[in-house]
Amino acid sequence: MSARMRERPERARESIRIGTVLSATPLARRHEQTVRGKLARLPKPQPWSAFDASRHPKAALALARELWLGLARGEYGAVGLFAKVAVGLVRVGAPFDFVHAATQASSDEARHAELCLRMAGLCAGESPELDVAGDDLDLALAPLVSELELDLVMIQGVAMSETLATALLTACLRRASDRLTKSLLTALLGDEVHHARLGWYYLAHRSPRWSLAERQQLADRAGELVMRVEQEFWVGRDAPGGASTAARALGILDSKAQRSVVRDTMENEILPGLDALGLGASLAWTRRPRPRSRA
């Protein structure tokens, strides 16, 4: 061992005491049931052979391929996100139910990415690959070094993002009639609901501990996010004439439907949740820029 490696850091970080105390949120009860073997989220086999691409027009299949590739990309990125969240939770000594839920979510997202990529391949008649920028990946995996950084990620990447994902996937499922599409969407939804709850439960756990300065910083960030959500989801996947029925069968959301889902989810789930945390997000929503309609 070199002399440099034997050197002690000038300022040793304070130790963190880890006990067996769980959070005071509903997640704790679920965690207890899980560790006792009473709850097991085992993946179900998918009816891959039920999908027949020849039954759908090429335009609808192209939109479905785009949908599933987009989902695969997002799910793959979430593997690293939840891994980072899990490490951040460990770093701050969070209750075990949060740590366990984050590690489970990372595993879920890896499975989701594989399922989505395989479905994209069936729609395209080939084996597609994801192209993930290395710089973006490094940035996404940068460690969380403070509780405030963890709070920010929980707001944006977990609570808001996963709640919107759950709502959009639910809307896709409600319009889909293709057997495999419905089965895959159901599988994804079964996990995404729990991922969203992790974010909201953790924020409920943390909010009483925020200082005024921390709450203000988080409120400012939440306001920025709220202001641009509608613009980010303004354009859906609009099928060309003659393919709209087939696209609907494959769970595709057009722009009008997507905008409606996002607006409803923001106004009835996300904004009330952020407001309950004392972040005043509803005011930002009323002042958001209105996108110009293109569809």
111 inside domain: yes
CATH of the domain at 149: 1.20.1260.10
> What is the per-residue pLDDT for 140?
75
Number of domains the chain contains: 1
47 inside domain: no
> What is the per-residue pLDDT for 133?
75
> What is the per-residue pLDDT for 145?
85
Is 24 or 194 the better-scoring residue by pLDDT? 194
Q: Is the pLDDT of residue 3 over 60?
A: no
Structural domain of 76 = 56-286
2 inside domain: no
> What is the per-residue pLDDT for 138?
76
Is 22 or 199 the better-scoring residue by pLDDT? 199
Q: Is the pLDDT of residue 89 over 60?
A: yes
Stretch 143-171: mean pLDDT, rounded? 96
Percent of the chain residues past pLDDT 90, beyond the cut: 76
Across 5-19, 121-135, 137-151, 263-277, least confident range: 5-19
Stretch 10-17: mean pLDDT, rounded? 64
228 inside domain: yes
Stretch 262-287: mean pLDDT, rounded? 97
> What is the per-residue pLDDT for 20?
66
Stretch 35-56: mean pLDDT, rounded? 86
> What is the per-residue pLDDT for 4?
43
Residue with tokens 């997000």: 281
196 inside domain: yes
Q: Is the pLDDT of residue 294 over 60?
A: no
Stretch 229-233: mean pLDDT, rounded? 95
Residue with tokens 């086999």: 45
Stretch 35-41: mean pLDDT, rounded? 72
> How many residues does this entry show for the chain?
295
206 inside domain: yes
Is residue 122 within 8 Å of residue 46, measured between CB atoms? no
Residue with tokens 């039954």: 55
Question: Which residue in 85, 32, 87 sits closest to 199, CA to CA?
Answer: 85
Q: How confident is the model at residue 56 (pLDDT cuts 50, 70, 90)?
A: very high
Q: Is the pLDDT of residue 109 over 90?
A: yes
Task: Break the chain down into helix, strand, coil percent, rounded to 5.
Answer: 70, 0, 30
CA distance 155 to 134: 25
Stretch 40-53: mean pLDDT, rounded? 90
> What is the per-residue pLDDT for 290?
82
Average pLDDT over all residues of the chain: 91
Q: How confident is the model at residue 2 (pLDDT cuts 50, 70, 90)?
A: very low
> What is the per-residue pLDDT for 126?
86
212 inside domain: yes
Locate 100 and state its tokens.
């366990």
Q: Is the pLDDT of residue 201 over 90?
A: yes
Across 156-170, 225-239, 280-294, least confident range: 280-294
133 inside domain: yes
